[in-house]
Amino acid sequence: MSSTEYSSPHSSSKLPSVAIGILPPLPKIRSGQIRKRTFNHGSLAGENKYDFQAPESDPSTDNEELAHIGDQVFGLVVTDLIQNLYPYLRVGRASRLRDHIKRKSIIAEICVSYGLHMKANLPERQADSLRTSQSVQVNIFKAYVGGVYRDQDLGAVRKWLISVIQPHVEAAYQHLRDDYLPKAVALPRVPAASNPSSPSPTSSEGAEPALPSPPAREPGDQQRSLRSRVDGPHQGSRRVDGGVDNHPQDTDQSGSNRRRRRSSQGEGRSGNSGKQGLASPRRHY
């Protein structure tokens, strides 16, 4: 049997159902009257469905009432099973599982696996097409559930249905759980760095680590360095941190500043001497 899928209107994911495998034995309906009515499809009776109720002199003989009871019993067993298996599941998630199990495709598949659709009493002209109808198959299975409930009790129906639907519930729950739980974020792989504390294979254990060699100078830099040493300050250049500073304007500015300071100091000394010369001589009595 092919598995069916359920698409939730609130999620893009689909709940899978397991393929029908070995099913538990079908419980028997001991009452002949209930068993006969279980397989009488509504299309065979030809009754007026628009009446408020059937007359007492001609009660309904189709399986509509049994199918109605069977639908409620089936939903009750499914809901009770989900709560017993997963007591901490939220009501919304549990409702989604229940709706998945109650889908027509799953119920019809179970009906066909038991061969119940082949026992249905259908109009002769429409028998072949109705047997393959999914709605008819669902109707027959629910009517059988209602017939077992009427003939025996809820305990017998519950024990049978749990064995049938529990694999479907577990598979759907696992898929729903993976859908709702956050997925692990895959971090990018970083290449492992070499251990700096491990000794180099070419160095001895007590040797100091070698310092990095300075960058090699270009031939032009060496020539400029030699020229600055030979020429000295006459070229307007000065050495800064082992290199050449080609900024003669800085040297000119510093020289002019020194000349200004010297001239101002000279003027100050000459002014003081003039003032001392103009002072009145000291008189001696």
Contact status, residue 131 vs residue 112, Cβ threshold 8 Å: no
In-domain check, residue 191: no
In-domain check, residue 54: no
Residue 42 has what pLDDT?
79
What residue type is assigned to position 143 of the chain?
A: A
Helices (H) and strands (E) in the chain, counts: 10, 4
Cα–Cα distance measured from residue 239 to residue 228, given in angstroms and rounded to the nearest whole number: 8
In-domain check, residue 271: no
What residue type is assigned to position 244 of the chain?
A: V
Ranges of residues in the chain whose predicted pLDDT is under 70: 1-21, 44-60, 183-285
Residue 43 has what pLDDT?
74
Residue 45 has what pLDDT?
63
Residue 1 has what pLDDT?
40
In-domain check, residue 205: no
Contact status, residue 27 vs residue 156, Cβ threshold 8 Å: yes
β-bridge pairing 14-16 and 5-7 = antiparallel
Helices assigned H by DSSP within 18-153 = 32-38, 42-45, 64-85, 91-101, 104-114, 127-131, 134-151
In-domain check, residue 244: no
Q: How many domains does the chain have?
A: 1
Cα–Cα distance measured from residue 149 to residue 163, given in angstroms and rounded to the nearest whole number: 16
Domain span at 129: 5-16+30-47+59-180
266's tokens: 């000279």
33's tokens: 């009257």
Residue 269 has what pLDDT?
54
In-domain check, residue 93: yes
Residue 74 has what pLDDT?
98
> What three-state secondary structure class fits 63?
coil
In-domain check, residue 127: yes
In-domain check, residue 280: no
60's tokens: 């309904």
What residue type is assigned to position 217 of the chain?
A: R
Residue 111 has what pLDDT?
95
85's tokens: 């298996």
CATH classification at residue 75: 1.10.1520.10
Cα–Cα distance measured from residue 117 to residue 143, given in angstroms and rounded to the nearest whole number: 11
Residue 277 has what pLDDT?
47
pLDDT tens digit sequence for 101-128 = 999 999 999 999 999 999 998 888 888 8
